[in-house]
Every structure is written in structure tokens, then in C-alpha cells.
Copies of this chain bind each other. A is one copy, B any other.
Amino acid sequence: MPGPYTLADIATRLGGRVAGNPDVLISQVGSLEHAQPDQIAFLSNPRYRARLAGTRAGAVIVGASAETLTQLPRLVADNPYAAFARVSLLFNPPEAITPGIEPSAIVDARAHVDPSAWIGPGAVVEAGARVGARASIGAGSHVGRHAGVGDDCRLFPSVVIYHGCTLGARCVLHSGVVIGADGFGIAQDAGRWLKIPQIGAVRIGDDVEIGANTTIDRGAIDDTVIDDGVKLDNQIQIGHNCHVGAHTAMAGCVAVAGSARIGAHCTIGAAAVILGHLSIADHVHVSAGTVISRSIRKAGTYTGMFPFDDNASWARNTAHVRHLDELAARIRALEKKLGGRSDG
């Protein structure tokens, strides 16, 4: 583990301004609730300011507006959450790998594995595949024919990359991720389904992180594309021929149907559903549990969460949903009787 560092050292290395004792020695990050005196915590959401009072942390990272809330040694930052990310990375750098191919790995003689890469036990690298410098392929993972894994990528155990799919540099893929399975392309033919061969691939940019058990399907004809810096949480499904723009982030369990085109710098909340063949502009934020059923042309926040209630209230109120058209007609009739609308 790196460190310990004084608070002053940390500020010098990573930026930010020190308030209070600059010499406190820090060896790890911690939460406000459980930090030890040699740990630094953070407060990014003022909602949790009450936790400052009881913390045993040796120092805290705060924004300027929270600077006076505590007398603890502080690192004052414009963006305290980003500052915390940097401090945590200082103390917890990505693990270095030991280059080599484990004896139980199965690497085709026609694969190109950089000598600085690591291929884990039982992993398979097929003919024509390429594994870049310092990349690590977790135990039992699979890199298909002519697939490409860029420099410094990290695949955790049990990741599958189908043939021809490519990852840029510094991607992180968690266990159970499947890249490049066939898209759901089927054509009705006299009551039966004909499979449409899925001959596109998946192209993933640099610095993409993909959570456990997320799946990204290969294109039907052209490729499915994930741009640089995209962050996908667990159990997300991206259909064939989607395009996800740079630096877009999606929370867990999002479903994106085929041929959706999602802009850059978007955020998609947990379990949202994006239907197929539509476009979403840059800088769109979709709330959790929302079904996006048509294109969104304008940046902004969009929501379609149905409100929950105690079960009895829900049943009483929701019964009217299936009669809203009738209710509206009754309002119109009342208005007519009274000489027309007078609400606006």
C-alpha cells in the first residue's frame, strides 16, 4: 500500500487547499461513520453533514461551503467527490499484474499476447486474438477469434468476448460480462422465426468500465459501438447496433433495445428502459425506472416513474387510471354545461 502521506503532501500531489493541521498523517480513506484517525473521509452531500460531528477521521475532504462545519484538518476542494476519488486512487492504485501465461490457460499459437500481459488460469485466447500490453485476462475468461483487448485492460474472471469484438485501452470488465453475443435478430416467416446471422461486432473505446453480468450484443450487419469513457454498471443489456456516446454512464439493470442511439455525457438511471430505433441527445439524464419510448432531441432530465403508495391507496387511486378518458369526458361535459372552460 502506498503512503502514509501528510495532508499537506496530499494537497501538493493532487490539488486542493489545506485548512487546519497540515501534518496529520493519512494512510487510507474511510467513511465518516467508520474512519480511523489515520484515515481521511469526505463530505460531498450537505445532507450528511450531521455525520461530521461524530467522525473519528483524521481529516476530511470538503467543499468551500462546508469548510467551517468542522475543525478537523480539511482538504478544501472545488469538487470534493472528485478530490476524494483522486485521494482514494492515491492510496489504492490498481493492482500491478505479474506478466505471464498461467499453465492452465489455453492460448492459440496464432494469438498475439503482449509479453507484459497476464493470462489467468483456464482462460482461453483464440486464434488471431490480440491482448495488449499489461492487460490481464481473468481466470476462465474467453477472448474469441480475432477479438482485441487493448493495453492495460483488466478482465476479471469469467468474462466472454466473442470473435471479432474489440476493447480499447484501459477498459475494466467485471465477471460475467458477455461482449458480442448474437443480437436478437429474427424474422417472422409463416409463424416461425428465421434467425438473421449477426455479422457485425462490438467496438468498445478507451477507458470503458463494464459491470458484472452486463451484456452487449454484436451488430446484425454493422457494429455495436460504445464510445470512450462510457461507464456501465451491472446487469445492463445493450442490444445490437446501439451506439452509446462518450462519457455516458448507466446505472444497474438498464435495458437498451436494438439500434438505439444514445448521446454523449448522458446518465441513465437504474432499471430504465430505452426502446429501440430511437435517438437520445447529448447531456440527457433519464431517471431510474423510466421507459423511454420516443426520441429525445433536447438536453435535460426526463422521468416516467410511476409513484408507489401503500397498497390500499394504490389500489384505490390506480383503479381510475383505466378510466382517465372517461373522467376527462365528464369534465368536458361539466364545462359545457357551465358555458365552457374557465381554467386558464
Interface size on A, residues (CB 8 A): 130
**Among B79, B92, B300, B311, which residue has its beta carbon within 8 angstroms of that of A188?**
B79
**Among B239, B249, B252, which residue has its beta carbon within 8 angstroms of that of A239?**
B252
Please state if A303 and B293 are interface contacts (CB–CB under 8 Å). Answer: no
Interface 9-mer from A16-24, A111-119, A229-237? A229-237
Please state if A337 and B342 are interface contacts (CB–CB under 8 Å). Answer: yes
**Interface centre among A120, A271, A316, A344, by most B CB within 10 Å?**
A271
User: In the complex where A184-B231, A324-B321 touch, is A252 in contact with B257 (Cβ < 8 A)?
Assistant: yes
**Interface centre among A213, A286, A344, by most B CB within 10 Å?**
A213
Chain A 291-334 residues near chain B, CB threshold 8 A: 291-293, 300-311, 313-334
Q: In the assembly, what is the distance between CA of A158 and CA of B178, in Å?
A: 10
The 9 A-B residue pairs with the shortest CB-CB distance in the complex, in nearest-first order: A304-B308, A92-B197, A289-B291, A181-B212, A85-B194, A333-B343, A301-B311, A320-B324, A160-B175
Task: Identify the A interface with B (CB < 8 A).
Answer: 28-31, 33-34, 79, 81-82, 84-86, 88-89, 91-92, 102, 104, 106, 120-122, 124, 138-140, 142, 156-158, 160, 162, 172, 174-176, 178, 181-182, 184-189, 191-197, 199, 209, 211-213, 215, 217, 221-222, 229, 231, 233-235, 237, 239, 247, 249, 251-253, 255, 257, 265, 270-271, 273, 275-276, 286-293, 300-311, 313-335, 337-338, 341-344
